[in-house]
Amino acid sequence: MANLSSEFIGIKSPNPFWLASAPPTDKKYNVERAFEAGWGGVVWKTLGSEGPPVVNVNGPRYGAIWGADRRLLGLNNIELITDRPLEVNLREIKEVKRKWKDRALVISLMVPCDEDSWKDILARIEDTEADGVELNFGCPHGMAERGMGSAVGQVPEYIEMVTRWVKKHSRMPCIVKLTPNITDIRRPAEAAKRGGADAVSLINTINSITSVNLDSFSPEPSIDGKGTHGGYCGPAVKPIALNMVAEIARNPETHGLPISGIGGVTTWRDAAEFMALGAGNVQVCTAAMTYGFKIVQEMISGLSQYLDDKQIALSDLVGRAVPNVTDWQYLNLNYVTKARIDQDVCIKCGRCYAACEDTSHQAILMKPGRVFEVNDAECVACNLCVNVCPVDNCITMVELPKGAVDPRTGVKVGDYANWTTHPNNPSVKAAE
Amino acid sequence: MSNSPFTPGIVAGRLPDAAYARNFADHEPPLDAHEARVAADRCYFCHDAPCITACPTAIDIPLFIRQIATGTPEAAATTIWSQNILGGMCARVCPTETLCEEACVREAAEGKPVEIGRLQRYATDVAMAKGLHPFTRAPRTGKRVAVVGAGPAGLACAHRLAMHGHDVVVVERRPKAGGLNEYGIASYKTTGGFAQKEVEWLLSIGGIEIRCGVELGRDVTLAQLEAEYDAVFLGIGLAGVNALRTPGEDKAGVRDAVDFIAELRQTADLSTLPIGRDVVVIGGGMTAVDAAVQSKLLGAENVTIVYRRGQEKMSASAYEQEHATSAGVRIICNAMPVAIHGNGAVREVEFAYTRETPEGLKPTGETFRLKADQVFKAIGQTLAGAPEGLAVEGGKLKGHQGKVWAGGDCAAGGEDLTVTAVAEGRDAAEAIHAALTAG
């Protein structure tokens, strides 16, 4: 078994799987159940200022979309930060941390955008012996209307300012949680770094309406016939999150800034992918809310097996894919592949044919007996057939060797060459 | 209950009353909404789907399953009925394991096809329960068509003709419409009087008059129909039954399986229906299986199907054979009856083992006897009562001659299945419509 011990900005945990700040980490009871199940750490659900706590809606607070067999693919929520009194949360955090010393316990915070509010809350949590703080600049619903959450996260100057206050008034490691509801994720990450953040975590949830009730014409989740945009998460958001993590990891301004990866992590594979793109650890929420805390056991066994198979340490995995993330203009235009259909495993559903014939390049031939074959002279290697095929590895992309003639273009496969030097590129011509 | 499975002879009430309801309940209960959604999710929506090709009525199966998956079983039913107006019955009785579900790519992928038949039943049941009949008649053409036989072929033909605006009169020799849907088919495949409900639903399009108790050749002649109507459709089925031509065939207790099945279907209280203790069914098709399984369900102690050729030649599907054996029916292959013994009533059937030779089936010389107080003959039906002068090929009527069209089991071409009969009736209606509106 590979050693999964993790150290993230000085915070140790037995594995890199943390529960994200969310309903599963709202109170001692849940957090202890999570630790019993094996989670390496938690980010306690966001605390607000002292005083009367926020109130939540009393109707449904989650909406969802589903795939086949009602498998939950995306979840959204309109829940606010913790609605329990600050003192109760602080007492429980202290109790839990004392009992579970080997686990990471980070406190998520969201208070109004003034220095005194932050100074005050930081002083209040000092006594809990928690390992660090995470600044919630991400929640896109409810709190944002009150000038907090993503309202801060969408303005890099605010991020920098608040982060600076936090570092000034606290010795705790500080993670800045970013909202994806912005144009360019690199700007808030740079601001966090300038403010002195020890790490960023991302993504928080995405503004969304999951569905509309076609009888009442209310967005879901519906509160007395009305709905509001909620934060979207779960497997559906993973591709968006992976890209944002990679953007920060490969940005020279933020390269090396520790990242806690969040967004649709459901299995060990998802976690490994986030880490390969530069995340030092991952935070999970929707998967736990869908299947319960036990899923961490699969994550632990899966990641261990993977690291053993690859004979690499956990630290070797982090950032391993980052050098391979590049801009389109640097992609090798002389890399030529063709789809190949394995007739032995083909079940003859014809989905590749329908997709290619109707919507792509008419590069799949349907022959008598429902035999589907690729016509290399038309195949642009778009990969759509691979993506719609229901059988794993039935259709694969095979690379043409250097020197081979591409039957589509009649051109020999040459050496690496990209757009920056391509004759069709007007910028190249302009430079001449 | 004074009788039991061990009571000798052909007697009624071998089982406790509750057992009949249990034994003859829906053998494949309907899917509920959740089950249907789960089952529908498995469909891959194949291009030019092989299941459509395998369906004699060419129902757009991927489309109707997608309509179920998206919460519109009513639209799914419309898709089904557009091709197969008896889609509800076909969902129950089709040997899907040799048709659509055999062709399903998930059968190739995992050995578990999409449950097309059950999904079809779900859609049609939901829509029928809502009283939906998504077809209306075109303006009346003034043309009149006679349909002989109110079985699946005749009903499908009549409905399509009525839809095109023609007026249809259906003559049926039996007291009820439905044909084999009403008088054939194992009872547990079509429970709750579904055959009659479906006929009533089909007739709700209007323009179709059914006259029961009218037999072609006895009460009306083809010449009369041709004179009175613009076209005639014959869907008269196969009214004849092949004889065993075995000594002793005339003994008491020896009976045609189709008559037994029809009687069972028309018996309200099955505890009153007599059945033998030792039942022997001769034949290898669906009729043999239906007779054998239902004999067992009525409380017969021993039920044996004996088929003269090898098991692979049985026309009952592997699924049907398994259904029979799991019900406790024994299947003996490669044996043909050579004598029926007994003093007045059958007591034993003597069989000779057979082998296939280039010259045909030959007895091996070895024989055996099965104890029997009841014997059902299920070795095939034949065309009977067809009007003189019509061309017959391979023992069946030609599809179209003059003003007369034929379809279903009585007509040449296709397997003798309900679904094939529906397809032929529908297509004949289209041909008749084209002929009547040409020029």
| Predicted confidence (pLDDT) per residue in A374-407, tens digit | 999 999 999 999 999 999 999 999 999 999 999 9
% of chain B residues with pLDDT over 90: 96
Put simply, the answer to whether B46 touches A349 (Cβ < 8 Å) is yes
pTM of the entire predicted model: 0.90
Mutation target for A interface from B46, B53, B106, B112: give the one with most A CBs within 10 A: B46
Assess contact for B288 and B316: CB atoms under 8 A: yes
Same fold, B33-129 and B144-239+383-437: no
CB atoms within 10 A of CB A123: 11
Q: pLDDT digit string (tens) for B128-183?
A: 999 999 999 999 999 999 999 999 999 999 999 999 999 999 999 999 999 999 99
Mutation target for A interface from B38, B44, B47: give the one with most A CBs within 10 A: B47
Alpha-carbon gap, residue A421 to A414, rounded angstroms: 14
pLDDT of residue B1: 55
Put simply, the answer to whether B44 touches A370 (Cβ < 8 Å) is no
Assess contact for A119 and A26: CB atoms under 8 A: no
Would you call A372 an interface residue with chain B, using a CB distance cutoff of 8 Å?
no
The 8-class DSSP code of residue B29 comes to: P
Q: Is residue B381 pLDDT above 60, yes or no? A: yes
Give helix A115-125 / helix A156-169 axis angle, nearest 10°: 40
Domain A6-324 is classified in which CATH homologous superfamily? Aldolase class I (3.20.20.70)
Domain locations in chain A? 6-324, 330-431
Q: Is residue A303 pLDDT above 80, yes or no? A: yes
Put simply, the answer to whether B42 touches A68 (Cβ < 8 Å) is yes
pLDDT of residue A140: 86
Q: Is residue A210 pLDDT above 60, yes or no? A: yes
% of chain B residues with pLDDT over 70: 100
Q: Which residues of A touch B104 (CB under 8 A)?
A: none
Q: What are phi and psi of B157, to 5 degrees?
A: -65, -45
What's CA A420's distance to the chain center, in Å? 31
Cβ–Cβ pairs < 8 A, chains A and B: 36
Put simply, the answer to whether B47 touches A69 (Cβ < 8 Å) is no
Q: pLDDT digit string (tens) for B196-218?
A: 999 999 999 999 999 999 999 99
Q: pLDDT digit string (tens) for A308-361?
A: 999 999 999 999 999 999 999 999 999 999 999 999 999 999 999 999 999 999
Would you call A391 an interface residue with chain B, using a CB distance cutoff of 8 Å?
yes
Alpha-carbon gap, residue B317 to B312, rounded angstroms: 9
Q: Is residue B10 pLDDT above 80, yes or no? A: yes
Give helix A268-276 / helix A238-250 axis angle, nearest 10°: 20
Alpha-carbon gap, residue A201 to A189, rounded angstroms: 9
- The CATH classification number of B33-129 equals 1.10.1060.10
Alpha-carbon gap, residue B201 to B205, rounded angstroms: 8
Alpha-carbon gap, residue B340 to B351, rounded angstroms: 9
The band of A143, judged by pLDDT with boundaries at 50, 70 and 90, is: confident
pLDDT of residue B190: 93
Assess contact for A112 and A147: CB atoms under 8 A: yes
Domain A330-431 listed as CATH 3.20.19.10: no
Put simply, the answer to whether B44 touches A366 (Cβ < 8 Å) is no
- The CATH classification number of B144-239+383-437 equals 3.50.50.60
What's CA A408's distance to the chain center, in Å? 38
Domain locations in chain B? 33-129, 144-239+383-437, 241-377
Q: pLDDT digit string (tens) for A264-282?
A: 999 999 999 999 999 999 9
State how beta strands B254-256 and B374-377 pair: parallel
Q: Is residue A431 pLDDT above 70, yes or no? A: no
- Which residue would you say has higher pLDDT here, B57 or A429? B57
H or E stretch at B405: strand B404-406
Assess contact for A17 and A271: CB atoms under 8 A: yes
pLDDT of residue A429: 64
Q: Which residues of A touch B46 (CB under 8 A)?
A: 348-351
Assess contact for B218 and B385: CB atoms under 8 A: no
Q: pLDDT digit string (tens) for A218-237?
A: 999 999 999 999 999 999 99
Interface predicted TM-score (ipTM): 0.84
H or E stretch at A105: strand A104-109
- The CATH classification number of B241-377 equals 3.50.50.60
